[in-house]
Amino acid sequence: MTITITAFERSPDGGKGLARDTRVRWALEEVGQPYEVRLVSFRAMKEPAHLALHPFGQIPTYEDGDLALFETGSIVLHIAERHPGLLPDDANARARVITWMFAAVNTVEPAILELVTARLLERDKPWSRERMPLVEDRVRDRLKQLSARLGSTHWLDGAFSAGDLMMVSVLLRLKPSGLLDTCSNLAAYVARGEARPAYKRAFAAQWAVNTG
């Protein structure tokens, strides 16, 4: 049974790879699993057929036979557990990688999403100018902490893992803000992720959908 994921029919970012199907495509490319993509419109995402797969009416979803999943953290973990390449064999190292996956979506991504919301959706509000430095500072704090932990290592815990895949995916959203460049080791970390052939294939696939 071929894996099927859902993605935007037309991503709001025009194919910059920031929609979350890219991280699922990336994971599938890393482990060499073929997949199909069902494109959904904003309207279809809120209709019963899609809501049965994703209770919050979002993308991406993941279907494989009888199994249907939503939430990219869970989808990437499922892929990493089923196929070699994204999780270490050692039980403790595996647990640490899963911890990084949670940290990416639970500790780092919220601050970044707040910034994206402030920049894209709240710019015209009268309180926006006053709030922006606070929101940016919260992102800077997270970046400094992550940067301190990464230090001069290439990846977060040993070899490239699902933890790095999730963390790089989350950090990529910061590129337009320029904030990533305040921590040179994190900018280099993200660039290493983007240089991976599997990431390039994932990016190209979503680019083709959005620019074709």
Ligand X SMILES: N[C@@H](CCC(=O)N[C@@H](CS)C(=O)NCC(=O)O)C(=O)O
Amino acid at 15: G
Q: For residue 76, state whether it binds ligand X (rule: CB under 6 A).
A: no
State which residue, 51 or 204, has the beta carbon closest to ligand X: 51
Q: Residue 57 CB, nearest distance to ligand X (Å)?
A: 6
Binds ligand X (CB under 6 A): choice among 5, 17, 53, 72 = 72
Residue nearest to ligand X (CB): 58
Q: For residue 166, state whether it binds ligand X (rule: CB under 6 A).
A: no
Binds ligand X (CB under 6 A): choice among 28, 37, 53, 59 = 59
E-strand stretches of the chain = 3-8, 35-40, 61-64, 67-70
Q: For residue 71, state whether it binds ligand X (rule: CB under 6 A).
A: yes
Size of the site for ligand X (CB under 6 A): 8
* Candidates 31-39, 51-59, 121-129, 162-170; binding stretch for ligand X (CB under 6 A): 51-59
* Candidates 53-61, 132-140, 154-162, 197-205; binding stretch for ligand X (CB under 6 A): 53-61
139-148 b/e (C-beta count within 10 Å ≥ 16 → b): bbebbeebbe
* Long-range own/partner contacts, residues 199-206 (CB < 8 A, 24 or more apart): 199/26, 199/29, 199/168, 201/25, 201/29, 202/17, 202/22, 202/23, 202/25, 202/26, 202/28, 202/29, 203/17, 203/22, 205/25, 205/37, 206/7, 206/11, 206/15, 206/17, 206/19, 206/21, 206/22, 206/25
Binds ligand X (CB under 6 A): choice among 58, 161, 169, 206 = 58
Residues lying near ligand X in the complex (CB under 6 A) are found at 19-20, 45, 57-59, 71-72
